[in-house]
């Protein structure tokens, strides 16, 4: 039995204009184009969305987080995804995950980003998303629980257990400062 999703009390809603939705649609089509009919790429998504819709959902999250952080998302199309993360923010790599409820990560989705930001969308709604908060891989490991969404178990975390977005800037600055000090030592 699936747990009730508890959203973050400090979630930030980001709305999209008609122009935003056109940009999202065009970027989603562009992201799928290099993958279509490419025998070296396996990009079949598990779920109820086709690949273009899945790209659009992810792009909505990237645009929303970009607005919250004051950054422009990289909407370019890559054959095998961005590989490194979605934003370099104050020297720390930030990965955006856009999902319907929990922050759910399979081991192959954790590729060393400093922080993971959860954006919650409502299926079939292209007008707005809610940026929930962020976490690190270590905290995710401690606070997450096993959940099966119908395609095998993975780890999941409640949105209410994420750090508020307002704390991400300071944390990224501290991570960057620590790395710089370590490099000088």
Q: What is the pTM of this model?
A: 0.86
Measured CA to CA, the distance from residue 139 to residue 82 in angstroms comes to 23
> Residue 52: which residues within 8 A CB-CB, separation 6 or more?
28, 29, 32
- Cβ burial of 136 (10 Å; 0-12, 13-18, 19+) is middle
Measured CA to CA, the distance from residue 171 to residue 115 in angstroms comes to 9
pLDDT by residue for the chain (185 residues), tens digit each?
567 889 999 999 999 999 999 999 999 999 888 777 666 655 554 556 678 888 899 999 999 999 999 999 988 877 666 567 888 898 888 889 888 888 887 666 666 677 888 888 876 788 999 999 999 888 988 999 988 877 778 888 999 999 999 999 999 888 888 888 888 88
Give domain limits for the chain: 12-184
């Amino acid at each position: 039995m699936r747990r009730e999703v508890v959203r973050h009390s400090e979630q930030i809603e980001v709305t999209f204009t008609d122009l935003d939705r056109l940009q999202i649609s065009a970027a989603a089509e562009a992201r799928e184009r290099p993958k279509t009919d490419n025998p070296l790429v396996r990009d079949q998504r598990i779920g109820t969305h086709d690949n273009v819709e899945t790209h659009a959902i992810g792009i909505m999250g990237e645009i929303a987080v970009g607005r919250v952080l004051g950054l422009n998302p990289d909407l370019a199309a890559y054959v095998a995804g961005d590989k490194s993360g979605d934003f370099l923010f104050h020297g720390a790599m930030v990965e955006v995950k856009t999902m319907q409820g929990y922050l759910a990560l399979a081991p192959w989705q954790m590729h060393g980003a400093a922080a993971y930001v959860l954006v919650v969308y409502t299926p079939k709604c292209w007008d707005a998303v809610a940026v929930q908060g962020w976490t690190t891989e270590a905290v995710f490991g401690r606070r997450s629980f096993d959940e099966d969404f119908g395609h095998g178990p993975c780890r999941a975390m409640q949105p209410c257990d994420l750090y508020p977005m307002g704390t991400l800037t300071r944390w990224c600055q501290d991570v960057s400062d620590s790395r710089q000090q370590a490099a000088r030592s």
